[in-house]
Chains A and B, each alone.
Chain A
Amino acid sequence: MTMEDVDHIEKKMKLIDENGLRLDGRKPEDMRPIRMEVGVLKRADGSAYIEWGGNKVLAAVYGPREAHPRHLQDPTKALVQCRYNMAPFSVTERKRPGPDRRSVEISKVISEAFDSVVFSEQFPRASVDIFIEILQADAGTRCAGLTAASIALADAGIPMRDLVASCAVGKIDGVVCLDLRKEEDNYGDADMPVAMIPRTGEVLLLQMDGHLTLDEFDKAFGMVKDAIGGIYEMQKEALRKRYAVTAEEFSDQPEQAPPERQAPPERQAPPEMPPEDMEGPQ
């Protein structure tokens, strides 16, 4: 038997069947199943893990911490820096490790999206570092990464105007569909990731490859906006789940955050220490 040349395999693929269902049986407005978990990493200040269809994404947040190198520090606000990275095993053909043109771009757009929700003025000269690791990719990784990073930021106690939720929308076989999977992305007509502040409807990220007519765009945008509302609820749910019991027990503890100073400040009284411990050369 001779080796077969694969080039003859047709690039076209039927993505929507006669019943109007997609490859995995979804309707055009259906999303893939999403599962998220907060606080999965111990060493990072905040972390989250998300499984979104075939995507598996880990996000970790450090900071606020001193920005390095020093010349990048901004005396008026914190830097929000993001690194989006795909694991070599995240795709079928081994991905050469390290930043490439695509991941540098994605890192940039994600940093900028978060820069507009984080209250960075509260941390001059500091930086908030977000790391997004794609463990397994199945289209829509930047949306999954953003969604995970957003709850990781909340987990890290970073002050923000709101969570950021994100989802992609696209066109396959001429039909506007939500949340494309790999085959639909590769052989479809258009793909448009969108990230928003769900509370206000502000758009933080919108990219598009392929073409949509204005009507299609309006339809797509409406669909993605609804989807983002749903993702936002899941994010809140994931955060609540992580912290629910903490709050329960917190109520029988004295208030630990110093209250606003009305009365003379009360300090935590340190346990009595023997005076002979007074150290230091005379």
Chain B
Amino acid sequence: MDSGPARREIVIPGELLGGRNVKPGRGTFAEREEVFSSLLGIRTERYGRVGVIRLSGRYMPYPDDLVIGIITDRGPSHWLVNIKAPYPAALHPAETPWRIDFGDTGRYLEIGDTIIANVLTVDEIKHIELTMQDMDSRRLTGGQLVDISPSKVARLIGARGSMIAMLMDFTRCRLLVGQNGRAWIDGELKDMAVVSRAVEMIEERAHMMGLTESVRAFLETEYGMRAGPRPR
């Protein structure tokens, strides 16, 4: 185990992470010059700052996160977007790629539309703003949405995108994963069903060893040894 990546230990709320020699990072708190974990997660340490990566819980937005949102409300000069956070996120016309007149928001995005956006800001009272200025941001049409818990998004993407690439290679679907635990799939109906079953599998078995292999085995039973160009 020495050569591999350092095994990381699980910490539990209230667990001591270090004394005076470390600084409290994300997911921790300091009390009487000692640092404790406030979350259930994995301990990390860098530059003398200890932090905890969550292993569970709702999506909490951070600036620059890529999210898939659903429009839940619309005003004359803003939209409210559900991004699976505890709070709705606001999207303003200035942050869209379009030039929108006052009161004309409905022509561009209606309630129920799905968008790809980035988190622009999250302030201390948790007002969330989104931006669609990014190249990849757009309204999604067609396809399906599947949910996965936000802490398992990393498993769905895989190391350097390996899992997502494998899913796309086999199913020839287009696949987009938001950090907020929503994935968008577009392709043939049959293929989309396979992807959503694979996502379910990842959700259930995220904690198991050899996840990639079991997903590959599942895809091979569905398609045989199929490898082709990625969908265009």
Point out the residue from B12, B31, B49, B58 that lies within 8 Å of A45, measured CB to CB: B58
Tell me if B55 is interfacial: C-beta within 8 Å of chain A: yes
Decide: B8 and A247 in contact? CB cutoff 8 A: yes
What B residues does A262 contact at CB under 8 A? Answer: 47
**Complex interface residues of chain B between 3 and 20 (CB less than 8 A to chain A):** 4-10, 12-14
A271→B126 contact, CB < 8 A: no
Report B95 CB to chain A, min CB distance, Å. 14
CA distance A258 to B59 in the complex (A): 13
Residues of B contacting A46 in the complex (Cβ-Cβ under 8 angstroms)? 56-57
Residues of A close to B73: CB separation below 8 A: none
Given the known inter-chain contacts A163-B12, A271-B176, please indicate yes or no for A247 contacting B125, CB distance below 8 A: no
Q: Are B14 and A161 in contact (CB under 8 A)?
A: yes
Asked if A2 is at the interface of the complex by the 8 Å CB criterion, the answer is: no
| Cα–Cα, bound, A125→B125 (Å) | 8
Contact B207 A245 (CB under 8 A): yes
Tell me, yes or no, whether B81 is within 8 Å of chain A by CB: no
Q: Which residue of B lies closest to A256 (CB)?
A: B154
Q: How many Å lie between the Cα of A74 and that of B56 in the bound state?
A: 25
- Chain A positions within 8 Å of B221 at CB level: none
In the complex, the answer to whether B125 meets A124 with C-beta atoms within 8 Å is yes
| Interface check A145, CB cutoff 8 A | no
Q: Within the assembled complex, what's the spacing in Å between the Cα atoms of A161 and B36?
A: 8
A243 CB to closest chain B CB, in angstroms?
A: 5
Whether B209 and A161, one on each chain, are in contact in the complex, defined by CB atoms closer than 8 angstroms, is no
* Interface segment out of the listed A18-26, A104-112, A152-160, A209-217: A152-160
Q: Would you give the shortest CB distance from B156 to chain A, in whole angstroms?
A: 10
Q: Which residues on the B side are within 8 Å of A252 (C-beta)? A: 4-5, 159
- Kindly identify which residue among B4, B10, B63, B207 contacts A240, using a CB–CB cutoff of 8 Å: B10
C-alpha spacing A119/B36, complex, angstroms: 13
Please provide the chain A residues from 130 to 187 with a CB less than 8 Å away from any CB of chain B in the complex: 154-163
**Using an 8 Å CB-CB cutoff, how does the interface string of A214-256 with B read, 1 for contact, 0 for none?**
0000000000000000000000100110011111111111111
**Cβ-closest chain B residue relative to A272:** B230
The answer on a CB contact under 8 Å between B126 and A124 is: yes
Distance between Cα atoms of A158 and B60 in the complex (Å): 11
Interface of chain A residues 187 through 201 with chain B (CB within 8 A): 197-199
User: What is the 8 Å Cβ interface bit string for chain B, positions 102-122, against chain A (1 contact, 0 not)?
Assistant: 000001110000001010000
Q: Which residues of A contact B49 (CB under 8 A)?
A: 260
**Residue numbers in B under 8 Å from A160 (CB-CB):** 13-14, 38-39
Contact B14–A163 (Cβ < 8 Å): yes
Asked whether, in the complex, the Cβ of B58 is within 8 Å of the Cβ of A65, the reply is: yes
Q: How many residues of B contact A (CB 8 A)?
A: 78
The answer to whether A154 touches B13 (Cβ under 8 A) is yes
- Per the bound structure, the CA–CA distance linking A258 and B150 in Å amounts to 13
**Nearest CB in chain B: distance from A262 CB, A:** 8
**A9 proximity list for chain B (CB < 8 A):** none
Q: B160: which A residues are within 8 A, CB to CB?
A: 254
A158 close to B57 (CB less than 8 A)? yes
A64 proximal to B (CB < 8 A): yes
- Which single member of A45, A155, A265, A279 contacts B40 (CB below 8 Å)? A155
A66 is an interface residue with CB less than 8 A from chain B? yes
A52 at interface, CB cutoff 8 A: no
Whether A157 and B58, one on each chain, are in contact in the complex, defined by CB atoms closer than 8 angstroms, is yes
Residues in B whose Cβ lies below 8 Å from that of A199: 14, 36
Q: Are A251 and B54 closer than 8 Å at their CB atoms?
A: no
**Given A243-B10, A248-B7, A280-B139, CB of A157 within 8 Å of CB of B56:** yes
Which residues of B lie under 8 Å from residue A159 when comparing CB positions? 13, 27, 29, 38-39
Please name all residues of chain B whose beta carbon is closer than 8 Å to the beta carbon of A260 when the two chains form the complex: 25-26, 49, 51
How far does the alpha carbon of A146 sit from the alpha carbon of B74 in the complex, in Å?
Answer: 41
- Check: A259 CB closer than 8 A to any chain B CB: yes
Q: Give A130 Cβ to nearest chain B Cβ, in Å.
A: 14
Whole-angstrom distance between the Cβ of B49 and the nearest chain A Cβ: 7
Cα distance A45–B64 in the bound complex, in angstroms:
24
Instruction: Please provide the 3 A-B residue pairs with the shortest distance between their CB atoms, ordered closest to farther.
Output: A157-B57, A162-B14, A256-B154
Please list the residues of chain A having a beta carbon within 8 angstroms of any beta carbon in chain B: 45-46, 63-66, 75, 119, 123-126, 154-163, 197-199, 236, 239-240, 243-260, 262, 265, 267-274, 277-281
Between A and B, 11 residue pairs with Cβ closer than 8 Å are: A64-B58, A158-B57, A160-B39, A243-B56, A245-B208, A251-B5, A252-B159, A270-B136, A272-B230, A273-B174, A281-B107
Q: A123-B86, A157-B39, A274-B232 are in contact. List 14 more A-B contacts (CB 8 A).
A: A119-B29, A154-B12, A157-B54, A161-B29, A239-B12, A246-B206, A247-B10, A250-B154, A252-B5, A255-B44, A270-B116, A271-B161, A271-B168, A279-B140
